[in-house]
Structure 1
Amino acid sequence: MLKNLYKDNQLIDFIKIIIKEMRPSILEINPLLDFYDTINLTTGEMKTTNRNGKKVTPSKNASYKGLEFKIYDTGTITLSGSLHKYWNDGAHNYNDFNNEAVLFVLSDLNTKFDIDPNKCILKCLEIGINITPPVPTNEILDNCLLHKTKPFEYQINSDEGKYKQVQHSQYIIKIYNKALHYKSKGFKVRTEIMRFEIKYTKMQKINDKGIFSLQDLINYGLQNFKDEVLNEWKNVLFYDNTIQIDPLTTKLKKAVLEYSNPNYWTGLLANNQNKNFTYHKKQLKKIIEKNSNKVQDLTAQIMSEKIDFLNSKTIQIDPLTILSKRIVLNYENDTKKHLCKVTGFNISMQKENSILLSHTGLKYYYKTDKRIFEQIKRRYLSKIWFKSNFQTQIKELAHNIRNTNSNQKIKQSRIYKEGQITLLEQFESQLPE
């Protein structure tokens, strides 16, 4: 079954699915998931409205490697999050996510949670590609003026960083500076990384392709989204900063100055000058073609080549081979990342000799990644401290993490006699140096 899932899959990132024909108890008893209810700690009532006052169905929630499981009171089960981030243990999605990686993720979800792609109905889908652009990413973002006839707007999100987007009725176009985003979170990113995404918020365009379930998506083959990605990039009204002004006439110099201003284009559209909009758009393309380095075309070429490269078939598609490679890869990366012995989260921001998440790390996650902080809080903070001040919560969290580590040591000493080799030690001794 898993080998049938092996197709051109690297473009897939965020998904939201409804899992059909699964009993909630299968997930509720899974030791990898720690479910919690959204309740009012004062009244003890379940939360029934969101921050905007809109009615919501009560649910139990759990997170694992960046994926969020929800079991609603109605019995509906949803799964949402980034498959790409899952591959990176929930940390990021700025590296490549190729066929082997997708195969591993699908295999892992099937093994750990009994999730069958045939029973996963798509409700939201993101298709995206990471590239090293021909010019600095910020320069590209600044010069993406419109998508079709809608202006780009800068957005700031604590989880996604700063990016530009245009929202259409059925999908959203997003462009990110991924390198800058993850550098601000403490990751060592050495190159420019631009990410271009299509987020399908309604499924009509996807359903029209015969795609309803996750299995349908795999069978369709994400290589077939290549043309759609390139066409949507082509639909970006892009002002090329490399236009050489000197060879242009006075009239063209004035036009170029106007063309670089997004308000000029939105003004044409606002005044119902659609013919003028189309005419001047063609004029800009002619100027770019004759007087610039053609940054948009170069970017499209890089996207095309990157999609082809990531979709190239590999020799090793055996899930067991991939799994063993993944274990070694994680072991090597984890030793470099400096992980907390209890929570498993990165503590590179703390002193080199620290082994547990402490006040410094907790404050770091509170500032840079609230989702991780809340996850730690739910697991390691007693509910009696939930309404206390921030400093008290930090103190109690650090204290409970230390206690958990001490309890784990006591438990290990009871199970393993002195000098006895554990399975982990045996595994580590066989790892290549």
Structure 2
Amino acid sequence: MLLHPDFVVCRPKTNYYHSLKHRTHGVKLSLDFRKAVENGNVIGYGHLEINVSPHYHFNQYQHNGNDFTPENSIKTIIEILNYLGIEQQEYNELKVVNIEFGLNIIPETDIKNLIDGLYFCKKTPFKTGAFPYFKKTDATNYKQIKAYAKGLQFLEFPQYGINPNTFRFEVKSKEAKNIKNYGIWNADDLTKLDIYNILTQTILDEWEDVLLINQTPDFSNLKTDEVQFIRNGNKIDFWDDLKNDSNRNKFNRYKEKYYRLLKGKNNLHNLIKLQIIDKLNSYQSGANSTQGNPINTRKEVLPQTPIQLINLEYAPPNENNRVCLVTELDISMQRKGSKFLCFGGLKYYKEFEPNIYKDLENRFLSEKMKIRDTDSQIYYIAHNIRNTKTNPIHNPKHSRKRFDKRNYNDLQMEIDFN
């Protein structure tokens, strides 16, 4: 690797390294050799760090503003490693210690207003980054969330065909111990399609934790107290105070209320979520995009077809005779390893078995939750199904009674034999 003819010496990231960059691709394809020192002299190298940018490689190192499917990624990573002279049987020798993954969508709202409205990821505030309309947050010591205007980044390069309103949402994991949670240990794992299912689910999960404010809401169908709540919620100080409140759940409760009051076109967070699901759905269904294909921005609802991917927990229907441990309903349409009926399965039953779904709604959805939007209702049904099994295990003496009292009225759990 040190003698590869297409690399030249460049400035190392620290004095402990000897670094090379590609002659034409620069640092987006670079090598960092960790020096091994003995008695003050460099006697060799302890390890090599290979830095690659598959999406840029896919576009001849010009941009990463178009669609880049899991299949594209696998093919590109193999192509890069082969170019570097690394054979397939050696892939498992390359530990993955840093990874960035995300997706591009084109929201219907103005990208500048969208970025300005990004306040928090969980309770960690977004901070402005390296260029305008770029925000990031250190979700943990080893994970970073990025959200920025990808289209504005390439505004001076119209030949690339990147829509100026393109929004990129990205997860960066900076430690191997967290990357292993995605099922990724080495470069060989990056060539397995199943791993990308986990990454796509992670993207959706991380978006759920984002607080996105609608800075120009429509108040026409809201009551006076609701209007006041939305106006208060559009101020970052409002959320700062909630974040520091002694009641640790208050922040999330108010965030749910904020989204609940902003219905339809007013709820930007949910509109972006639907676009994310739509894009990830298209990847999983095998509808591979090519470099010249534009991103679909018009779908605002889930496809009216049998569910292959919702919440990215899927398998072909009836693939296995698997049943929910609580309801004993078939869950073969969910991800392998599922034990309970969850988001994807509930979506399936709502769409194709409405009578079964109605029964589940009556059994596991409390009255106060029936006024929520569909996604929230499904979340709470799944949550209550799981708790039916886990609460007695965690605290068999008390938790079941507390759960029933919190979620059901006094007569709902009684059997009327008359």
> Map of 1:55-70 to 2, 5 A cutoff?
56-63=15-22, 65=25, 66-70=28-32
Aligned to 1:297: 270
Aligned to 2:78: 107
1:98 aligns with 2:69: yes
Q: Contact 2:99–2:172 at 8 Å: present in 1 too?
A: yes
Aligned to 1:73: 35
Answer 1 or 2: which has greater helix percent.
1
1:201 aligns with 2:164: no
Q: Contact 1:174–1:198 at 8 Å: present in 2 too?
A: yes
Q: Contact 1:182–1:189 at 8 Å: present in 2 too?
A: no
Aligned to 1:32: 6
Evaluate the alpha carbon distance shift between residue 99 and residue 280 of structure 1 in structure 2; reply closer, same or farther with a 3 A threshold. closer
Q: TM-score with structure 2 length normalisation?
A: 0.59
Q: Distance in 2 between matches of 1:89 and 1:236?
A: 33
Q: Distance in 1 between matches of 2:99 and 2:138?
A: 14
> Map of 1:24-423 to 2, 5 A cutoff?
27-36=1-10, 56-63=15-22, 65=25, 66-74=28-36, 75=45, 76-115=47-86, 116-157=90-131, 162-169=133-140, 170-184=142-156, 188-189=160-161, 191=163, 192-219=165-192, 220-241=194-215, 243-289=217-263, 292-313=265-286
Q: Secondary structure at the match of 1:133?
A: coil
Amino acid at match of 1:179: G
Evaluate the alpha carbon distance shift between residue 243 and residue 113 of structure 1 in structure 2; reply closer, same or farther with a 3 A threshold. same
Q: Distance in 2 between matches of 1:314 and 1:235?
A: 28
Gaps of 5+ in 2: 37-44, 293-418
Deviation at 1:111, TM superposition (A): 2.7
Amino acid at match of 2:134: Y
Evaluate the alpha carbon distance shift between residue 250 and residue 37 of structure 1 in structure 2; reply closer, same or farther with a 3 A threshold. closer
Q: Distance in 1 between matches of 2:76 and 2:265?
A: 43
Q: Distance in 1 between matches of 2:63 and 2:221?
A: 45
Deviation at 1:88, TM superposition (A): 1.7
Evaluate the alpha carbon distance shift between residue 195 and residue 37 of structure 1 in structure 2; reply closer, same or farther with a 3 A threshold. closer
Deviation at 1:292, TM superposition (A): 4.4
Q: Contact 1:162–1:181 at 8 Å: present in 2 too?
A: no
Q: Distance in 1 between matches of 2:226 and 2:169?
A: 31
Q: Distance in 1 between matches of 2:64 and 2:213?
A: 28
Give the RMSD, CA atoms, in angstroms.
Answer: 2.8
Evaluate the alpha carbon distance shift between residue 193 and residue 73 of structure 1 in structure 2; reply closer, same or farther with a 3 A threshold. same
Q: TM-score with structure 1 length normalisation?
A: 0.57
Amino acid at match of 1:172: Q
Q: Distance in 1 between matches of 2:9 and 2:94?
A: 21
Q: Distance in 1 between matches of 2:162 and 2:237?
A: 35
Aligned length: 274
Gaps of 5+ in 1: 1-26, 39-48, 51-55, 316-324, 330-433
Q: Contact 1:179–1:189 at 8 Å: present in 2 too?
A: no
Q: Secondary structure at the match of 1:264?
A: helix
Q: Distance in 2 between matches of 1:293 and 1:145?
A: 17
Q: Secondary structure at the match of 1:204?
A: helix
Amino acid at match of 1:70: D
Q: Distance in 2 between matches of 1:60 and 1:163?
A: 29
Q: Distance in 1 between matches of 2:127 and 2:17?
A: 33
Amino acid at match of 1:211: I
